[in-house]
Each structure stands twice: as structure tokens, then as C-alpha cells.
């Protein structure tokens, strides 16, 4: 007589504990996602000023030319011996990040010494910091246009008397973030913490479509 070769088949239904675990995960994972706070975009501080200035290549630059890009603005002058080279080094760091991540963000440095900082002078200054003029614009213009532009960014500048060839110009050391719609979205210190917050806010706006 042959031995019974019948082998029991694997149960069609999975063990009860597996279904219980699946049910728990199916219910809790969406709930946890709902409880996780969504990133809050930076608030708006009004429209950036309209301007028409000249960049380091001699071309006219105005707001509409930034298109659907975000832009980050700072204020410098080429004869500045201390603060401005530090600011420009920080902007170069931002340029590197923009290039690495192919981020749709532009950089704008506006001179507070437009009588001296002609396009050719700004070209030399830009070269010192490895500025890519497709990303980073250095802007100059006449005194009135520069003054109104700086004030439009809600920043201050004051030219003090100086006994030497280097002008004593007090100006903002803040970086200004502008979204794709032309709204100012924040003012940031140029220290490590401020730059980190600036980059986080900028990349969040990029993910949200620019504004």
C-alpha cells in the first residue's frame, strides 16, 4: 500500500496577526501624516520696488527680466574695505548652491556708491568673487535711482563725511528675498543662521511654485 503523499497546502488566508498589523498601519500612517505640520512659507512684506538699472556688462536691468525666478538682493560698494567683501563671499556661497542644485534663483548686488561703481568697475569686482553674470547681477545707476531702489527694499543708506579716498557709507547688511511674483518675502542677517534660514525659505518657495 502506497504511503499517503498528500501534503497540506499553505493556508489561503494570511495569519490573523498580519492582517491586524496591516490594518493598524493603514489607519495610523495617514493620520500621522496629517498631524505632521506642513512647512509655513515666509510672509509677504509688500512689492519689491520697480527699477531700471545697469548691470556689470552695461545692459539695462529691470524687474520683469527676472521672470519667474526668485531673487536675493544685497547692498555693497566696491571700495568697501570690510563688510562688503564678506557679504560678497556669502553671495558667492549662495551662487555655488544655486549652481549645484540648478535652483531657479538669481542674485542681485546693488551698489550704494554709484558715482564710482561704473559697470567696468563692477565687472572687475564681480570677477574677484567668481560671479556668473547669468546668475549674479551687480547693478548701478544714478544717485536718485539707487536711493529710491534701496528705500523701496525698505533698507537705509547714508553717506558720511570721510577724510580719505575710501567713502564712509553706512548701508544695510541684510539680504532680501523676493519671490517670483515680485513680493519681498524676508530680510536676513548675513551670519550662518540667517543664510541657512534664507536658503530654506527660498527653496521652500521654489517647491511651492515660486510664490
Cβ–Cβ < 8 Å for 109, 210: no
Q: What is the DSSP string of 158-180?
A: EEEP-SSSS-EEEE---EEEE-T
pLDDT digits (tens, 9 = 90+) for 115-137: 999 999 999 999 999 999 999 99
| Residue 25: predicted pLDDT | 52
Residue 198, SS3 per DSSP: helix
Mean predicted confidence (pLDDT) in 89-99: 98
How much is the mean pLDDT over the chain? 87
Cβ–Cβ < 8 Å for 59, 53: no
Per domain, the residue ranges of the chain are 52-207
| Residue 28: predicted pLDDT | 56
Cβ neighbours for 45, distance < 8 A, ≥ 6 positions apart? 154, 183, 184, 185, 186, 187
pLDDT digits (tens, 9 = 90+) for 33-89: 455 567 788 999 999 999 999 999 999 999 888 888 999 999 999 999 999 999 999
CATH 3.40.30.10 for domain 52-207: yes
Amino acid at each position: 500500500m502506497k504511503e499517503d503523499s498528500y501534503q497540506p497546502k499553505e493556508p489561503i488566508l494570511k495569519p490573523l496577526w498580519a492582517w491586524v498589523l496591516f490594518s493598524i498601519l493603514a489607519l495610523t500612517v495617514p493620520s500621522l501624516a496629517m498631524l505632521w505640520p506642513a512647512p509655513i512659507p515666509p510672509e509677504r512684506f509688500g512689492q519689491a520696488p520697480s527699477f531700471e538699472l545697469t548691470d556689470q556688462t552695461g545692459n539695462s536691468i529691470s524687474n520683469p527680466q527676472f521672470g519667474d525666478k526668485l531673487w536675493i538682493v544685497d547692498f555693497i560698494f566696491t571700495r568697501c574695505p570690510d563688510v562688503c567683501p564678506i557679504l560678497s563671499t556669502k553671495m558667492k556661497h549662495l551662487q555655488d548652491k544655486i549652481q549645484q542644485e540648478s535652483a531657479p534663483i538669481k542674485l542681485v548686488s546693488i551698489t550704494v556708491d554709484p558715482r564710482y561703481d561704473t559697470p567696468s568697475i563692477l565687472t572687475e569686482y564681480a570677477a574677484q568673487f567668481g560671479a556668473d553674470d547669468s546668475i549674479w547681477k551687480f547693478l548701478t545707476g544714478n544717485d536718485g535711482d539707487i536711493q529710491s531702489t534701496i528705500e523701496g527694499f525698505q533698507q537705509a543708506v547714508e553717506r558720511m563725511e570721510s577724510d580719505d579716498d575710501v567713502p564712509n557709507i553706512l548701508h544695510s547688511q541684510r539680504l532680501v528675498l523676493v519671490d517670483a511674483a515680485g513680493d519681498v518675502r524676508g530680510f536676513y542677517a548675513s551670519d550662518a543662521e540667517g543664510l541657512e534660514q534664507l536658503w530654506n525659505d527660498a527653496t521652500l518657495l521654489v517647491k511651492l511654485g515660486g510664490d
